[in-house]
Amino acid sequence: MPVKLPPPGVRWIGGPGGVLKVLDQTELPARVRWRSCRHPRIVFDAIRRLQVRGAPLIGIAAAYGMVLAARGCRTLKQFARAGARLIAARPTAVNLAWAVRRMLALQTLDRRRLLSEALLIHAEDRSACQRIGKHAYFLLKEPVLTHCNAGSLATGGSGTALAGIYEALSRRKKMWVFATETRPLLQGARLTAWELSRAGVDVTLLVDGAAAGLIASGRVRSVVVGADRIAANGDVANKVGTYALALAAKEHGVPFFVAAPLSTFDVATPTGRGIHVEQRDAKEVLTSAGRRTAARGIGAWNPAFDVTPAKFVTAIITEAGVVRAPYGASIQRITGGRSAKAAGRP
């Protein structure tokens, strides 16, 4: 049965001289608005502002951004500098650097070849999401708890963490999902709850601080989240608040799953200690809807992500299969030892 998904997060219009259209996710769910990107600096800005977000989708957008960058480059050295600027947009999501380096590995400024590669990256992610969903379907037990947004809005397909839920829908099986609102930008409330409800999923929203208590109550049978970077030992960087969910799930015997494509693994980073965690603007915590909510003179610590140690992860669901402990050996085997810093494909 076909599943009703939101509009694609990005789409390329035209040939090598075309334009990248980005669905502005900061406007959702109130308004569906597209931003036209004809220059890599606009792609950079869209990624930085979270108009386009989700590790796999950021990588896809960056690949298209490199097609745009080639228009203004006369040498491969200039092209590499343009790639470095794009990578700097968001440091934690490894798919961004992976996609840019894959485009640079072509060693060409031929926009036709570059566009072909970007379209291939997009198509591969769409296929990866579908396969992740098929693996996840057999592991997830409802009610399911998820955090942040790792659905179709965050990827080139049906999602990572939400792919198994959409796979269940396609098989005419209803799923009950608890979604955290996800501070500070409310991706769970604005995006996850919106896209799940559009698809016909029974979704219940809760504040982040209530999640541990919900798990303790016995009303959650599985937790599934996405990832922005997975270290060689299986440590997982994901939206801040993920670590607390993993701790609660471990304490109460609830399986904690991470769903991510192979492009999210970074075997060049041995452990989670080596993952750079992005710090975002304090205004995201100190204000709400443009109005100051905290007292004047107060600062804020606003990490975008936290790192969950591998020992709290029940399994990692990928397009190539389900990875289980011991993660070091399993990740080496499933990725072939490649890292996100490698120029080639995973």
Confirm whether 281 is a catalytic residue: no
What is the amino acid identity at position 85?
Answer: R
Distance between CA atoms of residues 333 and 219, nearest Å: 36
β partners of residue 322: 317
β-strand pairing of 291-292 with 315-318: unpaired
Of 316, 242, 225, 324, residue with least CA distance to 277: 242
Q: What share of the chain is helix, strand, coil (3-state, %, to 5)?
A: 40, 20, 40
In terms of Cβ atoms closer than 10 Å to its own Cβ (0-12, 13-18, 19+), residue 259 is: buried
Tell me which of 125, 202, 208, 228 is the catalytic residue. Answer: 228
Report CA-CA distances (Å) from 111 to 70, 93, 106, 117. Answer: 7, 25, 11, 10
Residue 27 DSSP code: S
Of 63, 73, 75, residue with least CA distance to 116: 63
Indicate which residues carry an active-site annotation: 228
